[in-house]
């Protein structure tokens, strides 16, 4: 039985199942509750000296957010079942893996409680690498990315109205949990250029590696979005700025938001002038990939220089070089995504 999306005009079909833009919005809002709990839990693991029990206020926020997310999905599937010929068909499009992720998270939650009882409470990087936390993070990433998967498979090109709101929320949710997992070495959580002196070679190497790693992550998310949609003005400012709230919580500094928002403004300007499209103009596409991480980390060093008491204590060679190399990594990503066409292949076509 073929089903129609609720995105269709009212009255087209009384048998249309609940999915599409409105369902994506509801699901995104429910997962935002879960994400807030994940942020609180991560903050507690890194800021509080002793955590003696699994039953904490931040776990209550985390698991209540998960419960609401699971209920939204389960209730929707049950309602859709009355309009579809099978339970599988009743799952909203793009949410098939989400069902497994929700079940996996429930199992992981029980396992995490037992892990804490037998082995104690993790702190710092231990909390990021314990087996039960890894299971919870993997499952969490899957259902946080669900609205993005749904939108990706349903609508491309230019978006309008609620679709734009869905794209912003979906992009933020997609980026949020991986960023939260990397807070232990994220440049927005640790302002190394302001406190890692020239004599600390290992500290500076760790800082540069973290900058280059995040350059790949930031550029990868940006290129993935622009290959599917025509992005609207302010997209990077909104998504980068709002996502940086996580880093502001973890680092206890609002500078993270200022850095990400300024970097987003610069990236939005680059997108406006270049209009990158990998199918029409590879040159501008590659140039945008070069500029995207450079915009982010140019904003990073500028804000740290003028908004912190000590300013940037790194040499100009290390600071400028970090920005340039981040851009080169962004450029190299495009050759993996869109490799040059071999001349023999052009002739064959």
Which CATH number covers residue 150? 1.20.120
Q: What is the pLDDT of residue 6?
A: 43
164 within domain boundaries: no
Q: What is the pLDDT of residue 349?
A: 55
pLDDT band for position 311 (cuts 50, 70, 90): very high
Range of the domain at 58: 17-158
Query: What's the structural domain count of the chain?
Result: 2
Q: How far is residue 69 from each of residues 91, 93, 108, 122, 314, measured CA to CA in Å?
A: 14, 16, 16, 26, 45
> Do 344 and 213 share a domain, yes or no?
yes
Question: Which residue, 158, 190, 207, sits at the end of a domain?
Answer: 158
DSSP state of 194: G
Q: For a pLDDT cut of 70, what percent of the chain falls above it? A: 88
Query: For all residues of the chain together, what is the average pLDDT?
Result: 84
Q: Which two tokens stand for residue 30?
A: 């429910």
Angle between helices 21-47 and 57-81 (to 10 degrees): 160
What is the rounded average pLDDT of the residues 317-343? 92
Q: What is the pLDDT of residue 312?
A: 95
Asked whether the beta carbons of 3 and 89 are under 8 A apart, the reply is yes
Q: What is the pLDDT of residue 347?
A: 56
- How far apart, in whole angstroms, are the C-alpha atoms of residue 129 and residue 105? 16
> Do 244 and 310 share a domain, yes or no?
yes
> Do 129 and 48 share a domain, yes or no?
yes
- How far apart, in whole angstroms, are the C-alpha atoms of residue 283 and residue 252? 40
pLDDT at 15 over 70: no
> Do 208 and 327 share a domain, yes or no?
yes
- How far apart, in whole angstroms, are the C-alpha atoms of residue 306 and residue 321? 19
pLDDT at 8 over 60: no
> Do 214 and 345 share a domain, yes or no?
yes
Per-residue burial over 82-104, b if 16 or more Cβ lie within 10 Å, else e, is ebbeeeebbbbbbbeebbebbeb
DSSP structure string for 257-290: HHHHHHHHHHHHHHHHHH--BTTTBHHHHHHHHH
> Do 331 and 186 share a domain, yes or no?
yes
Beta strands per DSSP E along 136-201: 157-158
Q: What is the pLDDT of residue 85?
A: 81
pLDDT band for position 12 (cuts 50, 70, 90): very low
pLDDT at 161 over 80: no
169 within domain boundaries: no
> Do 114 and 207 share a domain, yes or no?
no
pTM of the shown model = 0.82
**What kind and span of H or E run contains 230?**
strand 229-230
What is the rounded average pLDDT of the residues 109-133? 75
What is the rounded average pLDDT of the residues 259-268? 96
348 within domain boundaries: yes
> Do 114 and 248 share a domain, yes or no?
no
pLDDT at 267 over 90: yes
Q: How far is residue 206 from each of residues 212, 249, 349, measured CA to CA in Å?
A: 10, 22, 47
pLDDT in tens, 222-256: 999 999 899 999 999 999 999 998 888 877 788 99
What is the rounded average pLDDT of the residues 332-348? 78
DSSP structure string for 284-340: HHHHHHHHHHHHHHHHHHHHHHHHSSS---S-HHHHHHHHHHHHHHHHHHHHHHSPP
Q: What is the pLDDT of residue 256?
A: 93
**What kind and span of H or E run contains 229?**
strand 229-230
What is the rounded average pLDDT of the residues 177-196? 85
7 within domain boundaries: no
Q: What is the pLDDT of residue 199?
A: 85
> Do 86 and 203 share a domain, yes or no?
no
Q: For a pLDDT cut of 90, what percent of the chain falls above it? A: 37
Q: What is the pLDDT of residue 18?
A: 77
pLDDT at 346 over 70: no
Q: What is the pLDDT of residue 47?
A: 65
pLDDT band for position 348 (cuts 50, 70, 90): low
pLDDT band for position 54 (cuts 50, 70, 90): low
Report the range of poorest mean pLDDT among 79-83, 114-118, 257-261.
Answer: 114-118
**What kind and span of H or E run contains 152?**
helix 146-154
Largest CA distance in the chain: 71
Contacts of 1 (CB under 8 A, 6+ apart): 15, 84, 85, 89
């Amino acid at each position: 039985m073929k089903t129609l999306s609720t995105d269709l005009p009212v009255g087209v079909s009384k048998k249309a199942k609940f999915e599409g833009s409105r369902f994506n919005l509801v699901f995104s809002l429910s997962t935002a509750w879960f994400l807030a709990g994940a942020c609180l839990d991560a903050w507690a693991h890194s800021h509080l000296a002793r955590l003696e029990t699994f039953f904490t206020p931040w776990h209550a926020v985390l698991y209540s957010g998960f419960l609401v997310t699971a209920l939204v999905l389960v209730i929707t599937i049950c309602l859709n079942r009355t309009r579809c010929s099978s339970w599988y068909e009743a799952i909203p499009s793009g949410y098939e893996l989400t069902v497994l992720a929700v079940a996996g998270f429930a199992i992981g939650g029980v396992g995490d409680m037992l892990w804490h009882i037998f082995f104690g409470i993790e702190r710092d990087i231990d909390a990021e690498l314990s087996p039960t936390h890894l299971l919870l993070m993997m499952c969490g990433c899957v259902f946080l990315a669900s609205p993005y998967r749904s939108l990706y498979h349903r609508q491309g090109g230019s978006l309008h109205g609620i679709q734009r709101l869905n794209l912003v929320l979906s992009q933020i949710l997609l980026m949020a949990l991986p960023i939260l997992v990397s807070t232990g070495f994220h440049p927005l959580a640790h302002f190394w250029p302001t406190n890692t002196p020239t004599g600390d070679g290992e500290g500076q190497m760790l800082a540069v590696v973290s900058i280059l790693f995040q350059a790949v992550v930031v550029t990868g998310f940006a290129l993935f979005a622009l290959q599917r949609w025509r992005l609207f003005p302010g997209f990077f400012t909104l998504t980068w700025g709002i996502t940086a709230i996580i880093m502001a919580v973890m680092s206890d500094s609002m500078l993270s938001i200022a850095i990400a928002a300024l970097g987003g403004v610069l990236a939005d300007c680059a997108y406006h002038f270049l209009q990158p499209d990998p199918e029409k103009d590879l040159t501008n596409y590659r140039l945008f990939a070069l500029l995207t991480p450079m915009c982010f980390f140019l904003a990073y060093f500028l804000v740290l220089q003028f908004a912190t008491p000590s300013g940037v204590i790194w040499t100009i060679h290390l600071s400028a070089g970090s920005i340039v190399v981040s851009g080169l990594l962004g450029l190299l990503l495009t050759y993996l995504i869109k490799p040059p066409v071999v001349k023999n292949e052009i002739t064959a076509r």
